[in-house]
Structure formats: structure tokens, C-alpha cells
């Protein structure tokens, strides 16, 4: 009896967004009297960080600090339209819509600043700290807070913008089946190192090595967190989670979360993650969507690692101790006497 170590890998490419009958998202942005730019969305932040990404896209496009941006995702009844938070589409669709809205708002902001400073709007630039200034004459400037006050109470202007990103529907070419169902594709590879106890059948994932090509990582720290959080979900699918352990029979299925197994702190493997950047031409600042794909590659990587360790090929999740032991028994039955 021994603990057998194995290594396996798997790769995945994953589409950003869906075809549907068109896949749009809208964004609205306006400046308050204090110079805070409110980005209104109907896109829901499930914890993946779309509010942060939207704020970054708005701040970068406006040329202002992120502290001057407030993202509101409060109400789908009154907010601009969004198809939803699914299909790894949030950063791509919403980011593009926010950039369009912020670009329009920036144009109005520079027009008002031009009136305030009595210059041509084409001669103005932002410094990223909150000031709009004349290019080459940095002492001639106005802060966005003062500018917003002047826009409202002196010039009677609303600094605002609208944005929408639409992935138009694509219909297959009848002769070839050719179509364009998504906007771009991200790619990834995971290597799993596991240990299999051939006496108990228990599988332990020791390490995961993740490499993800994500277009451009708008927020590298959040991208890494999403990769490693998704890998945790992959481990959970591979080794723990099941609602129907004896499908199609309903026996012994968990009835609440006290019986629905997921990895605990002691089950989490060491992870090593690398983000690769190949910007997408149609992505917001080159970004692609990576939300759902992060749980995909770890599962077959773990299955391949189990096979490498003990020769058992498992094709149904979860890879339970029982299924490992049954696989080992089958291998022994095949051995010549």
C-alpha cells in the first residue's frame, strides 16, 4: 500500500459573450456638482469585480482618479439595459459601454473647461489627478470639482455620456457553417499534482500551476484571484460536489449544505498562477472575459493526474475514493495471474 503521486494537465479556450439575437450592454455616466462621475449600470456584480473594472475603465477614459468615479448597479428597473451577468461577458461588454459613455462625458467636460479657461477644447488635457489644463501651460488649469460646480451653476451644462456595446447576431453560412458566435476567446492551461492513496482511494491535490491568456489584465490582482478562486471551484467539482451520487437513483443525495461537500481550508492546494497578455482588438483596453473558464481546466487536469498516479481513468465527477478503489480493483482483475 502506498501514496502514489501523479501529474496531469489540461487546456481550455473559452468564448467571451454569446451570440443570442445580439448581445448588448448599456452604460450611463454623469457628473455630480462635486465632480464625482456616477456610472449607472444594470450589470450585477456577483463578487467577480465588475464594479471595480467599470470604475477603472471610466477613470482611465475620463483622465481622472478612481476616487472621482462611483459605480451604481442598484436597479434594473431604472438603470440602462444589460443582457446579464453570464457568459464571461461582463468586463468585455460593460467595459466597452463604459468607455463609450465616459468618452462622451469627457468631451463635454473639456468643452466646459474650455469655456471656463477661455481656450480651445482641443488644447486641453487631463493630468490624472483631477485637473484639466492647457497643454504646455500647466499653470492654466481648473480642478474637476470646481469645473463641475461651474458647469451646473454658471454654464447650465450637464456633463454626461451614454454608451452601448452590441455584439451583433451572427447567422451561420449554410454552405460552410461559418459564423462569428463570440467576440474573442481566452486561453488557459492548468497542471495538477496529486497524491492518490491506493489503500483508501483518497485523492489529494497538492499543487496547481495555472497559465491564463486573458487579453489584457485590467486588474492583475483581481484576475489572479479569479483564476485561483475558479480553480478552487474546479477542485470542488472534481473531488467533492455531487447532488446525485447514485444517479439516476436519488438515494443518499445531500439535502442541505451540511451534507453537500466542498473543499475546506485543509483541502486547498498550493497554487502558482501566471497571467499572459495578448490584447483583444475589440476588448476594453484589450481585455477578454475569463469568469467561467477558471473552473474548467483543473477538472480534467486532476483526472489526468490521477491516471498518471495509479492508472485509473475516471470520466464521471466527482472522483470519489470509491470510484478510485473500484478502478484499482478493475486494474488488478486485468492483471495476468
Indicate which CATH number applies to the domain containing 99.
3.30.365.10
Question: Which 3 state secondary structure label does DSSP give 150?
Answer: helix
**40: three-class secondary structure by DSSP:** strand
Q: Which positions ≥6 away from 154 have C-beta within 8 Å?
A: 116
Does position 200 have pLDDT exceeding 90, yes or no? yes
Are 224 and 302 contained in the same domain?
Answer: yes
- The reply to whether 128 and 201 lie within a common domain is no
Report, as an integer, the average pLDDT of 278-297.
Answer: 93
Residues 61 and 108 occupy one common structural domain: yes
Sheet of 185-197: strands edge to edge? 3-15, 185-197, 203-213, 270-276
Q: What is the DSSP string of 249-300?
A: S-TT---STTTS----GGGPPEEEEEEE----TTSGGG----TTGGGTTHHH
Q: How large is the average pLDDT for residues 285-299? A: 93
Give mean pLDDT, residues 74-83: 83
Query: Which residues, other chains included, contact 331 with Cβ-Cβ below 8 Å and sequence gap of 6+?
Result: 310, 311, 312
Q: Which pLDDT tens digit goes with each residue over 220-239?
A: 999 999 999 999 999 999 99
The answer to whether 73 touches 44, Cβ cutoff 8 Å, is yes
Structural domains of the chain, count: 2
Domain membership flag for residue 171: no
Q: Are residues 186 and 330 in the same domain?
A: yes
What residues contact residue 228 under an 8 Å CB cut-off, 6+ apart?
A: 210, 271, 273
Domain assignment present for 176: no
Q: Tell me the average pLDDT across 109-131.
A: 96
Indicate if 235 and 129 belong to the same structural domain: no
In this structure, the dihedral spanned by the alpha carbons of residues 201, 207, 208 and 209, taken in order and rounded to 10 degrees, is -140
Q: Is residue 52 part of a domain?
A: yes
Contact 207, 268 (CB under 8 A): no
| Crossing angle of helices 298-310 and 220-239, rounded to 10° | 50
| 174 in a structural domain | no
Per cent of the chain over pLDDT 90 is 74
- Is residue 132 domain-shared with residue 258, that is, in the same domain? no
* pLDDT higher than 70, residue 263: yes
- The boundaries of the domain holding residue 81 are 25-165
285 and 204 share a domain? yes
Give the residue, 179 or 143, on which the prediction is more confident.
143
Looking at the fold, whether 54 and 196 belong to one and the same domain comes out as no
Would residue 172 count as lying in a domain? Answer: no
Note whether 47 and 29 are same-domain residues: yes
Q: Residues 219, 268: one domain?
A: yes
Task: Inform me whether the pLDDT recorded for 250 exceeds 90.
Answer: no
pTM above 0.85, yes or no: yes
Looking at the structure, tell me whether residues 204 and 330 fall in a common domain: yes
Evaluate whether residue 177 is within a structural domain. no
Instruction: Taking residues 126-154, report their average pLDDT.
Output: 95
- Confirm whether 170 is domain-assigned: no
Residues 131 and 12 in one domain: no
Amino acid at each position: 500500500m502506498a501514496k502514489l503521486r501523479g501529474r496531469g494537465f489540461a487546456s481550455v479556450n473559452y468564448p467571451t459573450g454569446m451570440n443570442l439575437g445580439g448581445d448588448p450592454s448599456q452604460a450611463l455616466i454623469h457628473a455630480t456638482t462635486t465632480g464625482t462621475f456616477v456610472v449607472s449600470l444594470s450589470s450585477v456584480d456577483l463578487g467577480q469585480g465588475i464594479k471595480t473594472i467599470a470604475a477603472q475603465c471610466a477613470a482611465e477614459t475620463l483622465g481622472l482618479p478612481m476616487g472621482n468615479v462611483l459605480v451604481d448597479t442598484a436597479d434594473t428597473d431604472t438603470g440602462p439595459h444589460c443582457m446579464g451577468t453570464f457568459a464571461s461577458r461582463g468586463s468585455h461588454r460593460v467595459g466597452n459601454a463604459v468607455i463609450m459613455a465616459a468618452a462622451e462625458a469627457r468631451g463635454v467636460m473639456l468643452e466646459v473647461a474650455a469655456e471656463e479657461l477661455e481656450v480651445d477644447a482641443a488644447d486641453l488635457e487631463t493630468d490624472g489627478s483631477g485637473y484639466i489644463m492647457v497643454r504646455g501651460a500647466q499653470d492654466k488649469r481648473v480642478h474637476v470639482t470646481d469645473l463641475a460646480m461651474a458647469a451646473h451653476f454658471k454654464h447650465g451644462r450637464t456633463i454626461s455620456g451614454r454608451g452601448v456595446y452590441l455584439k451583433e447576431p451572427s447567422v451561420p453560412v449554410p454552405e460552410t457553417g461559418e459564423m462569428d458566435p463570440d467576440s474573442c476567446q481566452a486561453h488557459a492551461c492548468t497542471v495538477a499534482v496529486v497524491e492518490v492513496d491506493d489503500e483508501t482511494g483518497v485523492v489529494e491535490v497538492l499543487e496547481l500551476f495555472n497559465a491564463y491568456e486573458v487579453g489584457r489584465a485590467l486588474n492583475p490582482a483581481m484576475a489572479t484571484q479569479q483564476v485561483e478562486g475558479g480553480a478552487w471551484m474546479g477542485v470542488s467539482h472534481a473531488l467533492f460536489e455531487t447532488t446525485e451520487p447514485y444517479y439516476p437513483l436519488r438515494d443518499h443525495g445531500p439535502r442541505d449544505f451540511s451534507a453537500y461537500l466542498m473543499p475546506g481550508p485543509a483541502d486547498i492546494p498550493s497554487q502558482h498562477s501566471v497571467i499572459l497578455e495578448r490584447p483583444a482588438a475589440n476588448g476594453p483596453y484589450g481585455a477578454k472575459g475569463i469568469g467561467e473558464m477558471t473552473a474548467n481546466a483543473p477538472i480534467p487536469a486532476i483526472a489526468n493526474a490521477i491516471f498518471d498516479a495509479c492508472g485509473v481513468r475516471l470520466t464521471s465527477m466527482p472522483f470519489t475514493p470509491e470510484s478510485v478503489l473500484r478502478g484499482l480493483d478493475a486494474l488488478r482483475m486485468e492483471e495476468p495471474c
